[in-house]
């Protein structure tokens, strides 16, 4: 009898411990959840504003260059780059700032051909996924911005502004320049394409993009 009593209590303790662990999981998931955007997206009829809003609320972008890697030279190549258009909680500028280093193939590509396209998606924060909208659906907004990469002059006020913006969003960037010779860049925009609703791509004029108010 004593033997079965010991087995019963051992089994009860095992089940109880598993129950406690299971109950703890939702709290852990909640703490690690990627938060939604701090403000609601604009109407899908405001295409310039949508483009600016996506850029301002993003932390990174997909960047496409023409590869210089010998085995795939001339093919499109994609990468991910941290970016910012202003400091956190500051007014949007719409100017896309980011770092490059010649240790990275993207910088090598752009040193030969400085034309690029970058992509921003509303699902970067899982905004669409959390609303059961597939990231490929037109209602999960995305913007494709094409242009040329320009280096931000180190001695300029713009360089100071862009550095503060990047550090605000990406604290680790403080060490990037010293350790791997990163340098600040921006995009001279040539074309803006927005998909934020059914009916195909919408083209936004560059001047309308910069005029848009997302505050």
Tokens of 167: 């550090």
Query: DSSP secondary-structure letter at 185?
Result: E
Residue 127 in domain: yes
Of 1-5, 27-31, 34-38, 60-64, minimum mean pLDDT range: 27-31
The answer to whether residue 31 sits within a structural domain is no
Q: How many domains does the chain have?
A: 1
Task: Give the contacts of 14 (CB within 8 A, at least 6 positions apart).
Answer: none
pTM of the predicted structure, to 2 decimals: 0.81
Residue 152, domain member (yes or no)? yes
Q: Predicted confidence band at 178 (pLDDT cuts at 50, 70, 90)?
A: confident
pLDDT band of residue 60 (cuts 50, 70, 90) is very high
68 domain-assigned:
yes
Closest CA to 170 of 80, 54, 65, 79: 80
Determine the average pLDDT of the residues in 112-136: 96
Tell me if 89 is assigned to some domain: yes
* Torsion angle defined by CA atoms of residues 163, 214, 91 and 61, in that order, rounded to the nearest 10 degrees: -10
pLDDT of 37: 58
4 assigned to some structural domain: no
**Structural domain containing residue 171:** 47-211
CATH of the domain at 158: 2.30.110.10
How many Å apart are CA 129 and CA 121, to the nearest integer?
12
Stretch 86-112: mean pLDDT: 97
Tokens of 111: 């040193």
In a domain, 30, yes or no: no
How is residue 151 written in tokens?
Answer: 């280096």
């Amino acid at each position: 009898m004593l033997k079965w009593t010991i087995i019963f209590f051992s089994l009860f303790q095992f089940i109880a411990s598993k129950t406690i662990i299971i109950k703890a999981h939702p709290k852990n998931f909640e703490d690690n959840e990627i938060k939604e955007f701090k403000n609601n997206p604009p109407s899908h009829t405001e295409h310039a504003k949508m483009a600016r809003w996506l850029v301002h609320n993003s932390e990174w972008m997909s960047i496409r260059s023409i590869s210089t890697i010998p085995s795939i030279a001339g093919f499109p190549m994609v990468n991910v780059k941290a970016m910012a258009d202003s400091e956190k909680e500051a007014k949007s500028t719409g100017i896309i700032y980011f770092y490059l280093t010649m240790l990275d193939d993207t910088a090598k590509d752009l040193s030969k051909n400085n034309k690029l396209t970058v992509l921003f998606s509303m699902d970067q924060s899982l905004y669409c996924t959390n609303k059961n909208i597939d990231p490929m659906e037109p209602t999960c907004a995305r913007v494709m911005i094409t242009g040329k990469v320009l280096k931000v002059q180190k001695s300029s006020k713009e360089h100071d502004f862009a550095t503060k913006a990047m550090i605000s969003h990406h604290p680790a960037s403080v060490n990037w320049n010293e350790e791997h010779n990163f340098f600040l860049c921006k995009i001279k925009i040539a074309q803006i394409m927005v998909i934020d609703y059914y009916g195909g791509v919408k083209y936004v004029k560059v001047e309308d993009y910069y005029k848009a108010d997302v505050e």
